[in-house]
Structure 1
Amino acid sequence: MLLVLALYLAAYVLCASALWFWRVNRRSERPPATPTLLRGPGESLRWRLQKLDDALLRHVFAAAFLPMTVFLGGLMLALQLDGRARDATFAAAFLLFLGTLFLTGRWMMQKITLRRDCHLGLLGEKIVAENLAPLVAAGCRVFHDVPAGAFNLDHVVVGPTGVFAIETKTRRAGRALANRRPDEIVFDGDQLIFPWGNDTFGLDQARQRAAWLGQWIRTAAGETVPPFAILTFPGWNVASAAASDVHVLGTAEIPPFVRRAPVTLNHAQIETIARQLEHRCRDVEF
């Protein structure tokens, strides 16, 4: 019986491995022409999700069969012993099975949670991109997921009224405290007041991303244009109670904010900056 189970596990491993390699190899198929495309909203998250999905079969297999493999190995060892040694080995195998089951279950839950978070972040990026699309008609150029070495800029808008670096943070709603709206974030100029508490989530990051973008534009395009730092939370109502160098806005408020800013760039400057951004963002293979 144990031999049959062992053979079954070996056959399952071989079939699962063959299926995984077949899927990966199919991804390498390409048409004759392979143009590079501009990065879409949440491109980095999309790639991360794809890698998680590619590894999902291996994760499920490990979580499902590793505990049983450990138990069967201990059971086979126990059957070769006698008396108390057999009982002790069997008990140890069962405890090891429970421990392995707990660890693999927790590990699998971490992978599932990571995938859910990536999917939520990708959805938030798409929501912001959809709200930014009408700015193109106003003479703006919009770029998404701009690579910047160890990090990326979620969205960059270049238009007559300047350059805007937009940081997107997609957060799930939590339990609201008394006298706080469950769907509103209030910015008091120093910190963000969420329904469940206060923190500075995303403020420093938005500020640093905008500073990096300004430095890069000076180097790559030869233009001194301090970008506006914008922090937005898709799906949330945002109320700003004080001015700050970081503009915390609702997603739908970004286009009006861009249009209201004073005109600072001419057409030639817009095209120069946009050309450098396009070169940086055109790296998605077919």
Structure 2
Amino acid sequence: MAMTDRGETGDARGQPPEDRGSLDFREILARPDVRRWLLRVAFAAVVGVLFAIVFDPRVGLTAAVIAVIADTIRKARAGDGGPRTSAAERKTAKQLDGLDKKGWRVLHARSIPRDDDGVSDGQIDHLVIGPTGVFAIDSESWDKRLPVRTLSHTRLFHGPFEKKDRLDEARWEANQASRLLSLALGQEIPVQPSVAIYGPSVPWRVMTVRNVDVYSGGKAKTYLRKRPKVLTDEEVARIADAASKVLPSKFG
């Protein structure tokens, strides 16, 4: 988790430093906002085809457009009402209170900026910078009646539901934070993605699934502290200051 000087020879994947700011097609598809629009378009297409078969193509096209508009309005209304956090986020935030007195910096509800200076739908619930590294924590509240299990460290299930998309989103958010911090500081800044689960029992301390650390929400503070120290106080302060600039608050 230590910072590595990027220098002039390229990053850890063999790419030149100037290429880190660009996004390839796979990274674009991994964006939460892009994926939501793809799902929205797919849903509208299904609606349009069904209405076209039952009635005629013009009715199908109209139904597809209405479906897109209705879903967009529903999402917009769901986001109205000012700053709001989930119960799971508040629980994690409560655990993290007081860490600043022990050399940690915690930033809550940080947005992932777009390349066009807009703000994406991506959000890091808690970005934590401390002696043991930099962590992006997403707090999840799941139905406690359904068990949590993994398969070969590559698949995470909540009851019958696979959580691949949730893990991919957490990893994407952490990767974007790492990219932006590395560009801002001129050094490689790894950011470890993790998911803190509230509700069901999690039958392990920490399990890494698809490169994302997964653990019970009540152990978030222990997860952060029970790791080797890799950053000095000065490095923690530098990274936290940069993070507050490149990852704006979701609530302004």
Instruction: Specify the TM-score bucket, using the shorter chain as the normaliser.
Output: 0.5 to 0.7
Unaligned runs of 5+ in 1: 1-106, 174-180
Distance in 1 separating the partners of 2:200 and 2:147: 6
Deviation of residue 120 (structure 1)? 9.3
The equivalent of 1:153 in structure 2 is 124
Distance in 1 separating the partners of 2:224 and 2:230: 12
Deviation of residue 199 (structure 1)? 3.9
Contact 1:162 1:225 in 2 (8 A): no
Q: CA 1:234–1:224 in structure 2 vs 1: closer, same or farther (change >3 Å)?
A: same
* Secondary structure at the counterpart of residue 126 of structure 1: helix
Q: CA 1:227–1:187 in structure 2 vs 1: closer, same or farther (change >3 Å)?
A: same
After TM superposition, list the pairs within 5 Å mapping 1:195-274 onto structure 2. 195-240=159-204, 243-244=208-209, 245-274=211-240
Contact 2:136 2:194 in 1 (8 A): yes
* Larger strand proportion of the pair: 2
**Given residue 170 of structure 1, which amino acid in structure 2 is its aligned partner?**
S
The equivalent of 2:140 in structure 1 is 169
* Larger helix proportion of the pair: 1
Deviation of residue 123 (structure 1)? 2.1
**Given residue 166 of structure 1, which amino acid in structure 2 is its aligned partner?**
I
Deviations 1:18-52 (A, max 9, x none): xxxxxxxxxxxxxxxxxxxxxxxxxxxxxxxxxxx
Contact 2:132 2:225 in 1 (8 A): yes
The equivalent of 2:90 in structure 1 is 126
Deviation of residue 217 (structure 1)? 1.1
* Secondary structure at the counterpart of residue 228 of structure 2: coil
Unaligned runs of 5+ in 2: 1-69, 114-119
TM-score (normalised: structure 2):
0.57
* Higher-Rg member (1/2): 1
Aligned residue pair count: 171
TM-score (normalised: structure 1):
0.51
Percent of pairs identical after alignment?
22
The CA RMSD measured in Å over matched residues stands at 3.4
The equivalent of 1:75 in structure 2 is none
After TM superposition, list the pairs within 5 Å mapping 1:48-59 onto structure 2. none
Is 1:277 equivalent to 2:240 in the alignment? no
After TM superposition, list the pairs within 5 Å mapping 1:25-40 onto structure 2. none
